[in-house]
Amino acid sequence: MSEEENIRKAYLYLGLEAGTGLPEVLTKYKRSVMVWHPDRAPNDPKWKDEATEELKKFNWAKDILQSHFEGGGHNPTGPCICKPGTVSGAGPAGRSNTGPGRRAKTTEETNSEEAQAKAKNEERARRAASEQPVQNEREQTEQRAAQAMQDAMAHERELRDNRLRWRIAIGLGAAYIGLCLFGYVGTGVKAWWHTFTFNWERDHAPKQEQPSQSIPTPLAPSPELSPSTNFSPPAQPQDPDQIRREQEAKKKHDQDIYFAKLDVDRYQRSVEHGQTLIPELETKIADPNVSITDRRQLESYRDFQQKELTKNIDRLNYAKSHLRELQSAVD
């Protein structure tokens, strides 16, 4: 087979017009290989055999045309055997493409080969068109699977972040409650200890012996004193037990005033803290950049602080009232 016939046949195998340049030939070759690759249907032996044969033809056609364009036999500016209208049997250098023992193909044989090649090209085009929807569906399925995987990973990250936020919020709440309980318990223990030591000192104080007092014998009025003379009886000595009880009562009263002042100061600080914290929480809740989950947590924490503020205000009012009663008792 002459070089001209090989080139013409190669163009027919690739479904290209005669004279098409090498870049278009290589592009068409790559696309044809993708369509007819045997691995596209590994479970169909018939299709695999046919695809293998077609792939051999594509490789042969690519090698023929690439050898013509890159081997120096191509004439880009003048007549060339790869271009239509070139005189059959003459190459670019004027050498004969037919030799001894070679028979030039008849027009019928050439037309038959062209018809077969055209039919193969049409069959390849039909196969590619029929497989395109399947390929599109496969790509869409893969895209949906990838999107579902990304959504699942994003959802998992959101759940993990929410669990972390809840743990932090619960930890902060537990720490706050623990500090409040510690303050209440510490104040109660301190008050109990003062009361206990006071009662212990009172109950175990050494008793002082009272000196025996003799009842004085009243003297007879002196006749020399006139009835109009002023007479004041001698002052009676005060009972030591009464003195000690009064001192203990005064000490206990002073302690009650001291602890009442501590309660007023503690509740006052708690009220001021709540009045400062709640507006800050309201500002964060109104921020449009805060997520829904964080906003719910902030609202829950704000409601808790409002309840605590109400309780602390009531406790502060009671502590102030109790302190006023103790101070008025002294006056």
127-142 pLDDT per residue, tens: 767 767 777 777 887 7
* pLDDT average, residue stretch 291-317: 93
- Supply the mean pLDDT for the chain: 78
| Neighbour tally for 8: CB within 10 Å | 21
Taking 60 as the threshold, does the pLDDT of residue 209 lie above it? no
Cα distance between residue 257 and residue 266, in whole Å: 14
Statement: 3-94 belongs to CATH 1.10.287: yes
Residue 108 sits at the vertex; the CA angle it makes with 104 and 109, to the nearest 5 degrees, is 55
Domain made up of 244-331: CATH architecture: Orthogonal Bundle (1.10)
**Confidence band, pLDDT 50/70/90 cuts, at residue 193:** confident
Parse the chain into domains and list their residue ranges: 3-94, 244-331
Q: What percent of the chain has pLDDT over 70?
A: 77
HEC string for 95-138 = CECCCCCCCCCCHHHHHHHHHHHHHHHHHHHHHHHHHHHHHHHH
**What pLDDT is attached to residue 300?**
93
Which tokens sit at 224?
Answer: 């020399």
Please write the tens of the pLDDT for every residue from 51-66.
Answer: 888 888 889 988 988 8
Cα distance between residue 158 and residue 156, in whole Å: 5
Cα distance between residue 268 and residue 67, in whole Å: 97
**What pLDDT is attached to residue 47?**
78
Cα distance between residue 170 and residue 154, in whole Å: 24
pTM surpassing 0.75? Answer: no
